[in-house]
Amino acid sequence: MLQNDILLKHLSTVMDPELGVNIVDLGMVKDITYTNSEVTIDLALTIAECPMRNQIETEIKRKLKLIENIEEVYINVVEMSKEDRSSLMTIARKNARDNAIPTNINTRTRVIAVGSGKGGVGKSTISTNLAVGLENLGFTTGLLDADIWGFSIPRLLGIEGRLEANKDKKIVPYKRGGLEVVSTGLITDDEDTALMWRGLMLSKALEQFLFDVEWGNLDYLVIDLPPGTGDIQMALGRLLPQTELVVVTTPQLSAQKVATRVADMAKRSFIPLLGVVENMSYFESGDGNKYNIFGKGGGDELSEKFGIPLLSKIPISEDSVEESENGTPILLQNNKTPTKEAMQDLVNTIIKVLPPVSDETCTGRLAKVLEELEVEA
């Protein structure tokens, strides 16, 4: 009679086509029974109607029928529990990290991608002020404008320089104070120039910003994503598996529904969701009254739906908006406003939720030693 370990050995050659990890290591094989010439398998999928179901089942049957005396293979599909899905995602992320092509981003760098379902919700403003706030607190911080078509980071920072290369032909980030900035807006002739790039060119641009930029040893890298769920977002999960996503929405139901797709994309791409920011949450007048001019509840609903923190509710301030559009980030403005206070609270919350990797940890010290050895070599 066949032993289960022989069956498992053959099943371990069946790969999940999306994750690139075998179904045994992913914990998808729950039970195996062998009677006479028949094998019955309980197969757990993330969802019962997984699009890859037929492909996985076909491959299981093909591999097992290569074994002598096995004539029939029956597969009972069950849906994974919440705990099983969490375990699978952990394995998938580890595999992505282990197999990722090394970029110029230090593996100890905290990577925070800021995304939204649609434009006009203040995503780039959140990205800019988050990066500025982290740098203000003494963290070595980079800001990557990955919104290739709709770049706005240079304007929000009030910079008009050009990116240049060093002697090693690596792109040198533009310095705005201590903040390192890279944007396609710093390589075009002017802000009104249209970049007519499509799919593959967008991914290649992102790759160049990750591989060919001399980022140095960053504590944090903030990435301003384009709105939606396109090529850039999907490439990011593959190229920088340590990425975590902040989803920006407004209180409006329509914005929240679109932002839901971004959060869903992140889960499907195994990008951890750091939390939700509800921007333009309300308007606070000079007398302290709050007006929900864009409705309310969008951020709360998105947070509850995905079981992730609502990191902040950022109000609207007329003075802050005007100065921001003229190139002074909210956190660098002199006036005190509810918007500035909420933005600083967001930065402080991010540091608590995602603290920098300390050199004092065993892993941190080891990584630092290895880096120093590489430099000496």
The CATH homologous superfamily of the domain defined by 100-369: P-loop containing nucleotide triphosphate hydrolases (3.40.50.300)
By mean pLDDT, which of 104-108, 230-234, 243-247, 349-353 is the weakest? Answer: 230-234
Task: Compute the distance between CA of residue 344 and CA of residue 339 in angstroms, rounded to an integer.
Answer: 9
Non-local CB neighbours of 220 within 8 Å, separated by 6+ positions: 109, 110, 111, 112, 131, 134, 139, 140, 141, 142, 356
pLDDT score of 361: 44
Closest residue by Cα to residue 343 from 178, 156, 177, 174: 156
Please give the average per-residue pLDDT across 362-376, as a whole number: 47
Q: What is the pTM of this model?
A: 0.72
CA nearest neighbour of 299 among 127, 151, 117: 117
* Class of residue 190 by CB neighbours under 10 A (exposed 0-12, middle 13-18, buried 19+): exposed
- pLDDT category at 99 given cuts 50, 70, 90 is low
Interval 266-305: pLDDT, tens: 877 778 889 999 999 998 877 778 889 888 888 999 999 8
Residues 73-99, buried b or exposed e (16+ Cβ, 10 A)?
A: bebebeebeeebbeebbeebbebbeee
Q: Is 27 helix (H, G, I), strand (E, B) or coil?
A: coil
Residue scoring higher pLDDT (49 or 366): 49
**Binning pLDDT at 50, 70 and 90, where does residue 366 land?**
very low
Q: Is the pLDDT of residue 250 over 60?
A: yes
| pLDDT in the model for residue 341 | 94
Look at residue 360 and tell me whether its pLDDT is greater than 50: no
The model's confidence at residue 197, banded by pLDDT at 50, 70 and 90, is low
**pLDDT bracket for residue 199 (50, 70, 90):** low
Whole-number pLDDT of residue 101: 65
Q: What's the confidence (pLDDT) of residue 127?
A: 97
Share of the chain above pLDDT 90, in %: 31
**Residues 230, 147: contact at Cβ < 8 Å?**
no
pLDDT attached to residue 348: 96
CATH architecture classification, 4-81: 2-Layer Sandwich (3.30)
Instruction: Find the helix or strand (DSSP H, E) in which 144 lies.
Output: strand 141-145
pLDDT level of residue 371 (50, 70, 90 thresholds): low
Model confidence over 53-77: pLDDT tens digits?
A: 888 998 899 888 878 788 899 999 9
Q: Where are the domains of the chain?
A: 4-81, 100-369
Q: Chain-wide mean pLDDT for the chain? A: 83
The pair of structure tokens assigned to 161 is: 């320089």
